[in-house]
Amino acid sequence: MNSPVVLITGANRGLGFELARQIRRRGANVILTSRRDEDGRAAAAALEAETVRGSGAGKLDYCRLDALEPQSIHRARDYLASVHGRLDVLINNAGAHSSGDGAGLEVSAATCLEAFTNNCLGALQVTQAFVPLLSRTPGRVINVSTLLALPGMMGQLPGQYFAYRIAKAALNAMTAALAEELRPAGISVNAVHPGWLKTNMGGPYATDEVGAGADRVVSAAFDLPQQATGKLYVNGSPHAW
Ligand SMILES: NC(=O)c1ccc[n+]([C@@H]2O[C@H](COP(=O)([O-])OP(=O)(O)OC[C@H]3O[C@@H](n4cnc5c(N)ncnc54)[C@H](OP(=O)(O)O)[C@@H]3O)[C@@H](O)[C@H]2O)c1
């Protein structure tokens, strides 16, 4: 059987980079993507350099992809189609905090729009472009989200990250809605809460190592039955919306 082909957005650093490392260790072929060529190529070279020959690691490929730039998304899709011929798992990992984020009564509409674009619309545009390649398998879509976006969790961190959290709430809703649209094609769409991770975004006081976060995303991407769809996974279990 062919090794699975997995594309990861925002994989030049942080959780995305660790996902690329762990998924290759499982023997899957990874397309590491980055919005900046220089960063993406350096990340791919660093991963290649640590790979032990004969370890069974999957192949690594690099392709530029900016989740907010339709032209780069379509170029990446065409490249994948011509070089790999198919996609088994799409991981929408790219995301960002916005500099003006804060309390709901203070945050500007521009900051909310930026957060929505970075944390939901980018994943939607990428998914729309890659689903035709996924349906040949049928495949899986994983959206990296956060537990803190659930309405029931808004009591945590009140007055903080308002724009980010409502944007990830939209990503969660998108996950559930697309799961229903894609159910007949057998394509699953799930969201994963990776934990609070020691990355640029999570900061140094985060509780979890990036490796533990990647482990959670990888097991949602590979170990769930294909019919499990439309859920947010937290520590391996589906969480009530
Ligand atoms: N860290 C946490 O505690 C935590 C908790 C819950 C969920 N998450 C989610 O996990 C994901 C990864 O976060 P992280 O902690 O690894 O953050 P990070 O260290 O800040 O890395 C974010 C990655 O996303 C990329 N990115 C941002 N916008 C992009 C775009 N338009 N196109 C392509 N790439 C883009 C960044 O690229 P550049 O290097 O070019 O900026 C970077 O590679 C995010 O979706 C985040 O919301 C993180």
Q: How far is the CA of 12 from the centre of ligand 1 (A)?
A: 9
Q: What sign has the CA pseudo-torsion 169, 171, 177, 179?
A: negative
Domains recognised in the chain with CATH numbers: 5-239 (3.40.50.720)
Task: Decide the pairing of beta strands 140-144 and 188-193.
Answer: parallel
Q: What is the pLDDT of residues 137-191, one digit of tens each?
A: 889 999 999 999 999 999 999 999 999 999 999 999 999 999 999 999 999 999 9
Does the beta carbon of 40 lie inside 6 Å of ligand 1? no
Ramachandran sector of residue 14 (left: φ over 0; alpha: ψ -120 to 50; beta: rest): left
Please, what is the average pLDDT of the chain? 96
For the cut 70, the answer to whether the pLDDT of residue 113 exceeds it is: yes
Contacting residues for 31 by C-beta, under 8 A, at least 6 apart: 5, 6, 7, 8, 61, 62, 63, 76, 80, 84
- The DSSP 8-state label assigned to residue 88 in this structure reads S
Q: How far is the CA of 1 from the centre of ligand 1 (A)?
A: 32
- Which ligand 1 atom sits nearest the alpha carbon of residue 16? 16
Does the beta carbon of 94 lie inside 6 Å of ligand 1? yes
pLDDT at residue number 137: 81
- Which ligand 1 atom sits nearest the alpha carbon of residue 18? 16
For the cut 80, the answer to whether the pLDDT of residue 1 exceeds it is: no
Residues 12 and 28: their CA atoms lie apart, in Å, by: 18
User: pTM (2 decimals)?
Assistant: 0.98
